[in-house]
Amino acid sequence: MANDAALEHTLLATKPLTDWANEPKVEDLKADYEAAKPTHDLHVQRIQRWRDLLYVRGSAKPKKVKGRSSVQPKLIRKQAEWRFPGLSEPLLNNHKLFDVKPVTFEDVESAKQNELVLNYQFRTQLNRVKLVDDMVRAQVEEGTLILRTGWERKTTKVTEEVPVWSYYPLQSQEDVETFQQAVMESEEDPRTFDESAPPELVESVRFYKETGEMVIAQQTDTTQVEVEKVVINRPVVEVMNPENVMIDPSCNGDINKAMFAVYSFETCYADLVKEKDRYKNLELVDWENMGVLNTSDHATNTPQDFQFKDKARKRVVAHEYWGYWDTDGSGELKPIVATWIGNTMIRMEENPFPDGKLPFIVVPYLPALRELNGQPDAELLEDNQNIIGALVRGMIDSFGRSAVGQQGFAKGMLDPVNRRRFDNGQDYEFNPNFNPNQHRIEHKYPDIPQSAILMLNLQQQEAESQTGTKSFSEGISGTALGNVATGIRGALDAAGKREMSILRRLANGMEQLGQKIISMNQAFLTEEEVVRITNEEFVTVRREDLAGNFDLQVDISTAEADAAKAQDLAFVLQTIGPNADPQITMKILGEIVRLKRMPDLARQIENFKPEPDPMQQAMAEAELQKAQAEAQEAAAKVRLVEAQIRKLEAETSKDQVEVANEISGRKHQQDIEKQQAQSAGNQELEITKAITRPLKPEEKAPDIEAAVGWREVSAGQGGQPMA
């Protein structure tokens, strides 16, 4: 029976968790883990040695010798403490850490939305101060910063009152046209339509998209329904212990080329059973023998003498595998994630993250060529710390062996009675053969040789020159570059460049972290997120508005750099003077205030619009009316000049025609024709008068035919014929 139960347990433990044709087994994934373990263990030994040097413990602590000092100054720790604020402050002194830039024109609005969400998450959901402090300390102390990204989502069931809708067919052609217009608007801009359209119309369009029926919705009642409410829905960033993370050693220093990464974490049955949709086979785990203290390849902070006894809370070690596997046997690798406890596989699925990459970010402190892990300052300062410790211990031993405060008397100088009087501070008598100034010795501390002090200072200076960190133990000195202001500035610039190179690697890691969070936001955020911009302004961001391609920039400006920039802008503001455009002045002033870490005031200054002065407004209107009148007068003068020009052009044209006719003889011909026409007219007038004049008795009637004949003859000779 026992053998049958063991066989059944083995069969269940090896039962596939997916429908993949080539699902990996526990031993397959453990093979990768065991193959990478030697390289990982070697690096863990280095990390432990660096930690011992930092905290002066273990192998770095001097051995105790009777009668000798065992003190060891913490040079590496002192250098690290000076380094921490120089790396953390540039990431914490700005309320907006990320600057999201669009790749294409279509991504402009999405970039703005992503920038709002990303900076809001770092300010309110990720505890930015603790996260940045842990990142900086892990990078400086251990030489390598390893971040693991994830997503946390918790929901609960709540009862809400929702409307009950009834649907009726459209009655008229006008209703149909209105409905079609609403459908078009919802397709063109769904967000604006949902926010501005009446609820009845929004519900009608939603019903149409689901069923294809054109109806009008009307609310008839309300009802209580149980809905799932999101309590927590946010990204998670964890600063990992490098001892518990094992990355593919064949990646040649580039984690994007790593084929797998395995990390161990502590969990319990209660934590795993809450995510029953993710973890399976929990009943097959050997909860008794998989405790944290029974696992040798996992670094823990749990005390050796502490452990829960009940199954629900007992801490065990699980290993999570992120990598790539040929799941269908076609030769194509797909991203997967698997988790096992002991020899039991409890999770197997495809990588749930949208980018399909390993959820780890590696940032070295001092990068090593073609290596993924970096080195801390302890690798550089080990010898200096040991030498300084030896010098200090020698000085302390020299002081400790001296009989300081003790007095010695020449034997026979004082008898017992006078010695007692001397000790009591009373007058005493001494042997006249002994001079108290010569035969009494008062022991003092010995003088420290100048060579020891010089050696100590040399080691301190060498340590500072190697790390680029100045502890200001002797003030800032630019002696090496000249004992002038230029030399001091050169020394500061050299230290600043060294620190900036480390800071840029850290900022690059933050950019990678931001890219991963943006991709997760596009997949895991709720439909709408309310983001606080200032203390009084809130913006609703929709998940569908976050899609796009973006470039990420991290603001790593230091307080000193911001102060220098603010001073330069103040000089510009002073240079342009009070007569500059107020909009330009407000922009510069707003930027100065923003550099002083007052974003709310900067926003108010940039959006400030001064109320016009009534007196100045009246003067401006008077000036405008005067300018308009002057413009009208100028226009009238222009029109007068144009009329005079046209008149002059007409007179000039007339004179030109007359001159041309005079030259060609046309004018003489016109004069002749004019005279002939005048003569003919006079003749016709005389004839008309003669015909119409009443005759006297003695007069004879005129001969009309003769007159007409004369006219014809005259016409033949060039005269005008008579009509």
pLDDT in tens, 325-374: 999 989 899 999 999 998 999 999 999 998 899 999 999 999 998 899 99
The answer to whether the Cα torsion of 273, 279, 280, 282 is positive or negative is negative
The two structure tokens encoding residue 82: 């000076």
Q: Quick count: other Cβ atoms within 10 Å of Cβ 559?
A: 13
The answer to whether the Cα torsion of 359, 287, 19, 29 is positive or negative is positive
Highest average pLDDT, of 301-305, 504-508, 706-710, comes from 504-508
Coil, strand or helix at 152: strand
Higher pLDDT, 621 or 693: 621
Measured CA to CA, the distance from residue 451 to residue 675 in angstroms comes to 139
Q: What is the pLDDT of residues 548-576, one digit of tens each?
A: 566 666 666 666 667 777 888 888 888 88
Strands 98-102 and 144-169: unpaired
How confident is residue 494, by pLDDT bands cut at 50, 70 and 90? low
CA separation (Å) from 557 to 469, 554, 654?
Answer: 18, 9, 82
List the one residue out of 80, 91, 89, 82 whose CA is nearest residue 141.
80
Coil, strand or helix at 532: strand
Tell me the pLDDT of the chain averaged across its residues.
81
Q: Report the interhelical angle of 485-524 vs 108-124 (nearest 10°).
A: 100
* 336 Cβ neighbours under 8 A, 6+ residues apart: 24, 321, 322, 323, 324, 325, 327, 348, 349, 350, 351
Coil, strand or helix at 223: strand
pLDDT higher than threshold 60 for residue 207: yes
> Average pLDDT for residues 86-112, to the nearest whole number?
78
Measured CA to CA, the distance from residue 82 to residue 445 in angstroms comes to 33
The two structure tokens encoding residue 579: 């007569």
Structure confidence at residue 419 (pLDDT): 87
* 299 Cβ neighbours under 8 A, 6+ residues apart: 241, 243, 244
The number of residues making up the chain comes to 723
Measured CA to CA, the distance from residue 127 to residue 648 in angstroms comes to 87
Residue-wise DSSP of 242-305: GGGEEE-GGGTT-GGG-SEEEEEEEE-HHHHHTTTTT---GGGS-TTT-BGGG-TT----S-TT
How confident is residue 240, by pLDDT bands cut at 50, 70 and 90? very high
pLDDT higher than threshold 70 for residue 214: yes
How confident is residue 422, by pLDDT bands cut at 50, 70 and 90? confident
Coil, strand or helix at 438: helix
pLDDT higher than threshold 70 for residue 7: no
> Average pLDDT for residues 199-203, to the nearest whole number?
87
pLDDT higher than threshold 60 for residue 274: yes
Structure confidence at residue 68 (pLDDT): 87
Long-range interactions of 254-260: CB distance < 8 A, separation 24+: 254/372, 255/358, 255/360, 255/361, 255/362, 255/372, 256/357, 258/323, 258/358, 258/372, 259/32, 259/323, 259/324, 260/29, 260/32, 260/321, 260/322, 260/323, 260/324, 260/358
Phi-psi region of 524 (alpha: psi -120 to 50; beta: other; left: phi over 0): alpha
pLDDT higher than threshold 60 for residue 156: yes
Q: What is the pLDDT of residues 524-552, one digit of tens each?
A: 887 665 554 444 444 555 555 555 566 66
Structure confidence at residue 723 (pLDDT): 37
Higher pLDDT, 667 or 459: 459
Beta strands in 389-537 (DSSP E): 407-409, 440-442, 528-532
pLDDT higher than threshold 60 for residue 161: yes
Cross-strand bridge partners of residue 407: 442
Contact yes or no for 50/378 (Cβ under 8 A): yes
pLDDT higher than threshold 50 for residue 714: no
Structure confidence at residue 482 (pLDDT): 40
Structure confidence at residue 528 (pLDDT): 63
List the one residue out of 32, 50, 78, 83 whose CA is nearest residue 242.
50
How confident is residue 320, by pLDDT bands cut at 50, 70 and 90? very high
Structure confidence at residue 619 (pLDDT): 82
The C-alpha angle with vertex 103 and arms to 555 and 123, in degrees rounded to 5, equals 35
> Average pLDDT for residues 200-225, to the nearest whole number?
86
Coil, strand or helix at 116: helix
| Percent of the chain residues topping a pLDDT of 90 | 26
> Average pLDDT for residues 475-497, to the nearest whole number?
47
pLDDT higher than threshold 70 for residue 401: yes
Measured CA to CA, the distance from residue 323 to residue 251 in angstroms comes to 12
How confident is residue 491, by pLDDT bands cut at 50, 70 and 90? very low
How confident is residue 674, by pLDDT bands cut at 50, 70 and 90? confident
Contact yes or no for 291/316 (Cβ under 8 A): yes
> Average pLDDT for residues 46-65, to the nearest whole number?
92
Exposed / middle / buried, residue 615 (Cβ in 10 Å: 0-12, 13-18, 19+): exposed
Domain boundaries along the sequence of the chain: 156-230, 403-492
Measured CA to CA, the distance from residue 402 to residue 203 in angstroms comes to 94
Residue linked to tokens 């050693």: 249
Compute, in degrees rounded to 10, the torsion defined by CA atoms 368, 370, 372, 376.
Answer: 0
| Amino acid of residue 361 | I
Residue linked to tokens 């799932």: 228
pLDDT higher than threshold 50 for residue 197: yes
Structure confidence at residue 468 (pLDDT): 79
Structure confidence at residue 495 (pLDDT): 67
Measured CA to CA, the distance from residue 75 to residue 486 in angstroms comes to 29
> Average pLDDT for residues 505-515, to the nearest whole number?
90
Burial pattern 256-275, b for ≥16 Cβ within 10 A else e, equals eebebbbbbbbbbbeebeee
Coil, strand or helix at 537: coil
pLDDT higher than threshold 90 for residue 642: no
Structure confidence at residue 546 (pLDDT): 59
Measured CA to CA, the distance from residue 188 to residue 196 in angstroms comes to 14
Residue linked to tokens 């992120």: 322
Residue-wise DSSP of 569-630: HHHHHHHH-TTS-HHHHHHHHHHHHHHTT-HHHHHHHHT--PPPPHHHHHHHHHHHHHHHHH
Cross-strand bridge partners of residue 144: 364
Higher pLDDT, 722 or 68: 68
Structure confidence at residue 548 (pLDDT): 55
Q: Does the pTM of the predicted model rise above 0.85? A: no
| Amino acid of residue 190 | P
Strands 407-409 and 440-442: antiparallel
> Average pLDDT for residues 484-498, to the nearest whole number?
53
Q: What is the pLDDT of residues 108-152, one digit of tens each?
A: 777 777 888 888 888 888 888 999 999 999 999 999 999 999 998
pLDDT higher than threshold 70 for residue 392: yes
Measured CA to CA, the distance from residue 152 to residue 572 in angstroms comes to 48
Measured CA to CA, the distance from residue 396 to residue 66 in angstroms comes to 14
